[in-house]
Amino acid sequence: MSAKREIGSGNNRPLAGVRVIEMAGLAPSPYCGMILSDFGADVVVVDRLSKGGPEIPNVMPKNPFDRGKRSMRVNLKTPEGIDIIKRMIKDSDVLIEPYRPGVMEGLELGPEEALMLNPRLVYARLTGWGQKGPYAGMAGHDIDYIALSGALSLFRRKGEKPLPPCNTLGDFAGGGMLCALGIVLALFERERSGKGQVVDAAMVDGASSLITMFYGLLGNNLMSLDIGTNLLDSGAPFYETYETADGKFLAVGAIEGRFYKELITGLGIDPSSLPDQLDMARWPEMKERFAQVIRTKTREDWMNIFEGKDACVAPVLDLNEVMEHPHNRERDLLVEFDGLPQPAPAPRLSRTPGEAVKPGLPRGTHTREVLEQLGYAPERLEALFGKGIME
């Protein structure tokens, strides 16, 4: 890929000119690639052939993770297919791979081989358990990784079983997002050393990092392991969600005294009829009192009372409501492609912002284009397609 290709209009985006190989995977690795693509990287997804064997399932025909990317299909079970990836590695800045330890080595595409081909390569390995440890070769999913990290234990009410926060904490926050950070850190360091390196991005590590504060709270005796009774885990009546008269919900986060005062005023409760805000023994009865009051009005009624007030109250919006909220509209929180709303690039940079570029055509559409940029002659291309090496 000797000719650098900028996708969209964002030549001033921070990662413009950075060339990324994304080995096709599910959830965290496509999300990582999407972040890099949003900020200008030329991301090429290397997928398996759609015929003659299993492939990564296309569970979302309209896939927001594909935005701004190109894609190709390669038969990695052939020497010719492996040679194509090696040729790409020589001319790329980043490789993202989401497989179990040893898979890329078995293809002769492991970090040792890749860094010999291109010593400046940032080789990102995005897995659940990491590259070493007794669990490294085991199958798993987000729920398993956040369980082992200790994070899942925090998501429960008193007396109830842990409730996984969908797959946001392991796959996306602890996995894809922190992998993207690791890649950017390695690229930044490369500017000084001129050398690439391996990024071991494990979701169990990432989920552990995300709960750093709770180790601090526990170590300072500011929380207990009786989860569901503490300040931030649904124990406190002023940090909780409540159902409204119309079956919708409010989120209340009035921790500080002045915010709590605004909350009580808005709820129309006489402060003298309540225990002290921090009387933990009486939090359960306070929660029931708040719940009874909040169930008397609709979510819209309560927001008419609390909007513009420092009571730390917000509506719990369903996904189909997010785009219509005035605050989100003004910030352009979501973008829409082909009728599919999706989050806009974040964070927002003042001079070189990210840009969400409409997803391309079906997987494999750019195979020929990528090979031409690699310098393959027309007759060689036809031979590769004819032999089923490429699709």
Q: What is the pLDDT of residue 22?
A: 98
CA-CA distances (angstroms) from residue 341 to 64, 69, 320, 321, 353?
Answer: 9, 18, 9, 11, 20
Q: Which CATH number fits domain 239-243+249-315: 3.30.1540.10, 3.30.420.40, 1.10.10.970, 3.40.640.10?
A: 3.30.1540.10
- What would the two tokens of residue 72 be? 């190709």
Mean pLDDT of successive 10-residue segments in the chain (391 residues)? 42 93 95 98 93 54 90 94 96 97 96 98 98 96 98 96 96 98 98 98 98 97 97 97 98 98 98 97 97 98 97 98 97 93 96 91 86 88 88 85
* H-state helical runs in 26-78: 28-38
**What is the pLDDT, as a whole number, of residue 1?**
42
- Rounded to 5 degrees, what are φ and ψ at 381? -60, -45
Helix/strand number for the chain, H first, E second: 14, 11
pTM: 0.93
Give backbone dihedrals phi and psi of 205, rounded to 5 degrees, phi first: -65, -45
Q: Terminal CA-to-CA distance of the chain, rounded, Å?
A: 18
Fold of 19-210+342-386: Rossmann fold (3.40.50)
pLDDT of residue 5: 42
Residue 3 is predicted with a pLDDT of 40
Which two tokens mark 346?
Answer: 């974040």
Q: Which residue has the tokens 């509209």?
A: 329
Q: In what order do the strands lie in the sheet with 239-243?
A: 239-243, 249-253, 313-315
Q: What is the bridge-based pairing of β-strands 122-127 and 94-97?
A: parallel
Which residue among 171, 200, 205, 233 is the active-site one? 171
Domain ranges of the chain: 19-210+342-386, 239-243+249-315
User: 171 an active-site residue?
Assistant: yes
366 is catalytic: no
Burial of 322 by CB count in 10 Å (0-12 exposed, 13-18 middle, 19+ buried)? middle
Report the alpha-carbon distance of residue 178 to residue 43 in Å, rounded: 18
- Residues 85 and 279: their CA atoms lie apart, in Å, by 63
Whole-number pLDDT of residue 6? 40
